[in-house]
């Protein structure tokens, strides 16, 4: 057992987290952020761990192949798709000379606005029982642990009593929005997920699949260039 700061870390478990990612940069950033580890510490840790899987060397990952049977497309409804968010990087009012798009105040504004638009998408499907309470829960969740994972991708997700079954929504910002990503780049694609508290299995499997599959730049580009909701849904079928 190794120690980084005040957190005890099992190096084998860390290595297995990376094994799932098949050399995916997005997952790597997510793991580093989740464990709050320095890259120097992780490099040293992984060098000490016998690595039997070939996924980091470019071989296929059996776990990924099995999870493809999940069929992500069935969780996304056409009414829960937004091809261009109304939220903008800067406020519409007078912008001060010292305005910082990545400042805490602006990120909080953007975050709440984006999440509000995403909740409206969920409302279209009739999935949400209390939108105001859901917004508060999502905002609090973002403050505790941001869901932007880098490469222009954010996956806002929450287990909540405000839904009765697992649901997804998709939203896009062509220009990109500051969302407190680990690579400090703006987020363009938002794949939101809600699940009831008792549905851990679907919730975790979909999150893992999305983050893994969307580490492929080709998939990201397909969603960035989708011209309508049907094309977004076809892209979901392709990544299945």
Q: Which residue has the tokens 């290595």?
A: 15
- pLDDT band (50, 70, 90) for residue 239: confident
Residue 240 has a pLDDT of 62
Residue 10 has a pLDDT of 52
Residue 208 has a pLDDT of 86
pLDDT at 64 over 60: no
Residue 202 has a pLDDT of 87
Q: What is the arithmetic mean of pLDDT over 14-30? A: 44
H or E stretch including 102? none
pLDDT at 148 over 60: yes
SS3 category, 234: helix
Identify the residue with better confidence: 147 or 8: 147
**Among the four given CATH numbers 3.40.1670.10, 3.40.50.1970, 3.90.79.10, 3.40.930.10, the one describing domain 66-239:** 3.40.930.10
| Structure-token pair, residue 74 | 């069935």
Residue 30 has a pLDDT of 46
| Structure-token pair, residue 89 | 């990087």
What are the residue ranges spanned by the domains of the chain?
Answer: 2-60, 66-239
Q: What is the arithmetic mean of pLDDT over 217-229? A: 94
- pLDDT band (50, 70, 90) for residue 85: very high
| Structure-token pair, residue 165 | 């079954």
User: Mean pLDDT of all residues in the chain?
Assistant: 78
Q: Are 211 and 191 in contact (CB under 8 A)?
A: no
Q: What distances in angstroms separate CA 103 from CA 8, 89, 97, 129, 200, one per listed residue?
A: 32, 11, 13, 33, 34
Identify the residue with better confidence: 85 or 35: 85
| Structure-token pair, residue 46 | 């992984």
Span 97-106, pLDDT tens digits: 788 888 999 9
Span 162-194, pLDDT tens digits: 999 999 999 999 999 999 999 999 999 999 999
Residue 186 has a pLDDT of 96
Q: What is the arithmetic mean of pLDDT over 19-35? A: 43
- pLDDT band (50, 70, 90) for residue 234: very high
| Alpha helices (runs of H) in the chain, residue ranges in sequence order | 11-21, 25-35, 39-48, 62-67, 104-124, 131-144, 200-213, 217-224, 229-239
Query: In terms of pTM, does the model score above 0.85?
Result: no
- pLDDT band (50, 70, 90) for residue 28: very low
**Which residue pairs from 108-116 have beta carbons closer than 8 angstroms and sit at least 24 positions apart in sequence?**
110/177, 110/178, 110/179, 111/139, 111/142, 111/179, 111/180, 112/139, 113/86, 113/87, 114/85, 114/87, 114/171, 114/173, 114/177, 114/179, 114/190, 115/139, 115/142, 115/156
């Amino acid at each position: 057992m190794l120690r980084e700061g005040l957190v005890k870390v099992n190096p084998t478990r860390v290595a297995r987290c990376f094994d799932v990612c098949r050399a995916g940069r997005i997952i790597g950033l997510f793991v580093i952020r989740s464990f709050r580890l320095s890259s120097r510490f992780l490099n040293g840790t992984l060098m000490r761990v016998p690595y039997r899987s070939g996924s980091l060397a470019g071989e296929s990952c059996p776990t990924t192949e099995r999870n493809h049977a999940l069929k992500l497309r069935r969780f996304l409804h056409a009414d829960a798709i937004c091809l261009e968010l109304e939220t903008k990087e800067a406020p519409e009012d007078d912008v001060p000379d010292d305005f910082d798009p990545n400042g805490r105040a602006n990120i909080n504004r953007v975050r709440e606005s984006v999440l509000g638009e995403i909740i409206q998408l969920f409302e279209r499907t009739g999935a949400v029982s209390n939108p105001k309470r859901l917004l508060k829960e999502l905002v609090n969740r973002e403050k505790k642990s941001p869901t932007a994972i880098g490469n222009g991708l954010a996956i806002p997700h929450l287990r909540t009593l405000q839904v009765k079954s697992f649901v997804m929504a998709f939203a896009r910002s062509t220009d990109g929005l500051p969302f407190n990503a680990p690579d400090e780049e703006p987020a363009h694609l938002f794949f939101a997920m809600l699940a009831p508290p008792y549905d851990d299995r679907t919730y975790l499997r979909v999150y893992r699949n999305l983050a893994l599959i969307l580490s492929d730049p080709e998939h990201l580009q397909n969603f960035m260039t989708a011209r309508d909701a049907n094309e977004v849904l076809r892209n979901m079928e392709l990544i299945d």
